[in-house]
């Protein structure tokens, strides 16, 4: 019975790609939730949109201050 060799480099590169894109995807999803909440309704939707749309701005300010 022949077995295929396991390519550890491919597994490592997939995990590096996943790590690299994890934070931007999370920020994009939070922003999307904020934009949709702002469009859908009033009241608590406004509070949710303000909170969600503050996250990317706060991250940018934090990273800029760390420079």
Q: pLDDT tens for residues 47-64?
A: 999 999 999 999 999 999
d(CA 37, CA 50) in angstroms, rounded, equals 9
Per domain, the residue ranges of the chain are 9-66
Reported pTM: 0.74
Q: How far is CA 8 from CA 1, 14, 24, in A?
A: 21, 10, 26
Percent of the chain clearing pLDDT 90 (strictly above): 69
Question: Which residue is listed with tokens 């701005």?
Answer: 57
């Amino acid at each position: 019975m022949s077995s295929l060799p396991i390519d550890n480099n491919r597994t490592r590169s997939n995990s590096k790609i996943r790590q690299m894109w994890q934070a931007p995807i999370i920020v994009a999803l939070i922003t999307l939730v904020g934009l949709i909440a702002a469009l859908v309704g009033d009241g608590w939707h406004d509070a949710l949109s303000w909170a969600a749309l503050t996250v990317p701005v706060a991250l940018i300010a934090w990273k800029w201050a760390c420079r």
